[in-house]
Amino acid sequence: MTKRFLLITAIVLVCLLLILKPAVVKLESSTRLLVLLRWQTGKILFVNSVTEKPVSIHFQIGGLFQQFTVLTDEITEAYYTNGLYSMNEAVSRESTNALKFCSMKGISLTLGFYSFFLKDGCLEVKLLWTM
């Protein structure tokens, strides 16, 4: 192999590592490997079991899961925050390599090209690398 071929191969591999975001999704009965792209988005939908109101969490897939926003009604936001702070201001600053949600009423998760629905239980998503 020539030095040029090795250099081109190394550059392509580095670019792929920077663009691709592999993740593992664990549901109650299965585990799946996902290949996400750095610029994709995610969304989690569920119904708060106390207020019975829908909650929608949107986020970006970058080096980590980041730029979160939460859409819900005022009563549910107050349930989570005790009315002491703006939930969106707090979550917008967060970033994490793992998400875990549990719901008795069901959870819908969309990550890039993938969609999952869990009726009752927990799901976890973890990025395999965070470059």
- The 10s digit of each residue's pLDDT in 103-113 is 888 899 999 99
Answer for the pair 57, 40: CB distance below 8 angstroms, yes or no.
no
CA distance 40 to 70: 17
pLDDT for 131: 65
Amino acid making up residue 84: L
In this structure, the dihedral spanned by the alpha carbons of residues 34, 103, 42 and 60, taken in order and rounded to 10 degrees, is -110
Residues of the chain with pLDDT under 70: 1, 131
Domain range summary for the chain, segments of one domain joined by +: 21-127
